[in-house]
């Protein structure tokens, strides 16, 4: 019987090295709780020897009662020519008081002689003594063999000696690392198979995505006997990122039939990935495998017709397994079927030949002729349907708004927006806000006006804003289409506005986004 695969997450450490990410301690604690709820086995919290923030995290996380995960502290082997017990990095790992410690050491002779500038023998002693020191403090110790695949290709005898030193010191798992992300899956497969014959300690795999091979390399190692896989959710990480654990877990569960996370937790994958996207403020790509917004979206009429007859026709799995859902995208290519299906979701039975359906299709075609493109704005399409079928009462209506912009002599400028909104109970709300630009100011003012009544709006934010000129021949009088993508902790959605005035178009897209969020929360 095949052994279950241990999921070791390093989003809080390797993922924090993504350009543009800076997790606060509170961010890290939120992600920890989410990963624990998903059933992740190990959560690497950071490197306590490298910065105060990570030390603060390890202090704070002690107060959390986790149900599934063990917290791991990360560090390196002792420095050259320093005793293990005197090494400050190893001392910080002990002070972190985590049950598990992961340390990395050098496997590639080039790094030993050219980077840390010591002897090959001293490096072997550094590995052995560091692991042995941590084991003497009753720690579970994982040894990350950094640059192992590059080292093995250049000098296999020495690379093997480095992990034998970790094994001799009683490391609990030896993790082979493709640190530069430049190894092919066939090479990983062969090298792991070779190592497996010579190492009795359980093996793990840690890959980087510089050739977009991190997932493939991780799975190749698992097929050859690795029982621990390290990575990050959403593939966060330095340079091109790390192996994406969301994809790996999805493949292990649905394709390889290998146990990893608890089966009852797999349906939380999509929600978890969007939560991490939200906290890290890094947009999850629509075409992201398994969990992306478009992963199970169907646009062509032929595809939609086939899907209605048999979902296996154009989907490799049932999207609900990973917590995602099927979408039929509205466009001129899709005809009446998306209208009928969207109405069905709303509890309304429409026939393709009914007058209501014909009327909706006619209005849809008119709006597309005006410049609307509902295939790119699914949330606006749902609001269009609910309004047309009178299944929707707006949460607020606009009385008036005003936007002013100011340019100063020193080059600085500002925009100020005033909004007057009427809520469904006829209560009037007013707000004024300053923003980086007119759209930002409008967004802030609308939220300020609505926040007392609808506090959940604080959970959403704008992640993308696009403007397209629809007829450039009209010059500055041309219509524009504005697309706004918004996101909360659970998913993302896109809304749209079309107008000759870019502020009007932006307001339509922004208010649709807010309306959709409130409608979603009400369900």
Q: What is the mean pLDDT, run by run of 10 residues, along the chain of 523 residues? A: 94 96 92 97 95 94 94 97 96 96 98 96 98 98 98 98 98 98 98 98 98 98 98 97 98 96 96 89 90 84 74 90 82 62 75 80 81 80 86 90 86 88 86 92 94 92 86 69 88 90 94 94 80
CA distance 508 to 380: 10
pLDDT given at position 63: 85
CA distance 48 to 95: 9
Q: Are 162 and 145 in contact (CB under 8 A)?
A: yes
pLDDT given at position 118: 97
Rounded to two decimals, the pTM is: 0.74
Considering the domain 6-280 in this protein, what is its CATH number? Answer: 3.20.20.70
pLDDT given at position 377: 81
Encoded tokens for 92: 């910080």
Other beta carbons less than 10 A from residue 360's beta carbon: 21
Domain with CATH 3.30.160.270 in the chain: 396-522
pLDDT given at position 333: 44
Cα 184–9–194 angle (5° rounding)? Answer: 35
β-pairing verdict for 461-469 and 6-9: unpaired
Cα distances (angstroms) measured from residue 33 to each of 44, 68, 70, 456: 13, 10, 11, 21
Query: DSSP label at 413?
Result: E
Considering the domain 396-522 in this protein, what is its CATH number? Answer: 3.30.160.270
Domain with CATH 3.20.20.70 in the chain: 6-280
pLDDT given at position 404: 94
pLDDT given at position 199: 97
Residue 503 makes CB contacts below 8 A (sequence gap 6+) with 403, 438, 439, 442
Phi/psi of residue 482, each to 5°? Answer: -110, 130
């Amino acid at each position: 019987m095949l052994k279950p695969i241990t999921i070791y997450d390093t989003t809080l450490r390797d993922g924090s090295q993504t350009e543009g990410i800076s997790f606060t301690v509170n961010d890290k604690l939120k992600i920890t709780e989410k990963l624990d709820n998903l059933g992740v086995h190990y959560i690497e919290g950071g490197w306590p020897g490298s910065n105060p923030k990570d030390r603060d995290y390890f202090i704070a996380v002690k107060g959390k009662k986790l149900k599934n995960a063990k917290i791991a502290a990360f560090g390196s082997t002792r420095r050259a020519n320093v005793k293990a017990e005197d090494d400050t990095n190893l001392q910080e790992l002990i002070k972190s008081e985590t049950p598990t410690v992961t340390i990395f050491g050098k496997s590639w002779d080039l790094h030993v002689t050219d980077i840390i500038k010591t002897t090959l023998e001293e490096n072997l002693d550094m590995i052995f003594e560091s692991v042995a020191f941590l084991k003497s403090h009753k720690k579970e110790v994982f040894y990350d063999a950094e640059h192992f695949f590059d080292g093995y290709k250049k000098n296999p005898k020495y690379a093997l000696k480095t992990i034998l030193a970790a094994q001799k010191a009683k490391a609990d798992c030896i993790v082979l690392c493709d640190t530069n992300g430049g190894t092919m899956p066939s090479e990983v497969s062969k090298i792991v198979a070779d190592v497996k014959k010579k190492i009795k300690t359980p093996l793990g795999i840690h890959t980087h995505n510089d050739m977009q091979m991190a997932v493939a390399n991780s799975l190749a190692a698992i097929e050859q006997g690795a029982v621990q896989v390290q990575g990050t959710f959403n593939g966060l990480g330095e340079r091109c990122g790390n192996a994406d654990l969301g994809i790996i877990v999805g493949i292990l569960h649905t394709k390889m039939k290998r146990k990893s996370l608890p089966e009852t937790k797999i349906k939380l994958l999509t929600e978890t990935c969007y939560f991490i996207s939200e906290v890290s403020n890094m947009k999850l790509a629509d075409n992201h495998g398994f969990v992306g917004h478009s992963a199970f979206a169907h646009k062509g009429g032929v595809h939609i017709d086939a899907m209605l007859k048999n979902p296996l026709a154009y989907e490799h799995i049932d999207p609900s397994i990973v917590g995602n859902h099927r979408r039929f995208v509205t466009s001129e290519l899709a005809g009446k079927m998306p209208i009928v299906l969207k109405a069905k979701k709303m509890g309304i039975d429409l026939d393709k030949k009914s007058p209501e359906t014909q009327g909706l299709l006619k209005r849809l075609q008119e709006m597309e002729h005006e410049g609307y493109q509902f295939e790119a704005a699914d949330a606006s399409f749902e609001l269009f349907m609910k309004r047309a079928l009178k299944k929707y009462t707006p949460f607020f209506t606009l009385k008036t708004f005003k936007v002013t912009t100011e340019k100063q002599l020193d080059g600085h400028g500002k925009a100020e927006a005033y909004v007057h909104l009427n809520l469904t109970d006829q209560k009037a709300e007013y707000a004024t806000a300053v923003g980086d630009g007119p759209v930002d100011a409008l967004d802030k003012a609308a939220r300020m006006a609505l926040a007392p009544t609808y506090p959940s709006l604080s959970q959403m934010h704008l992640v993308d804003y696009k403007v397209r000129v629809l007829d450039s021949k009209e010059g500055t009088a041309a219509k524009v289409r504005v697309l706004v993508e918004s996101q909360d902790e659970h998913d993302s959605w896109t809304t749209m506005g079309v107008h000759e005035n870019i502020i009007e178009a932006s307001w339509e897209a922004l208010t649709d986004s807010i309306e959709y969020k409130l409608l979603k929360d009400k369900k």
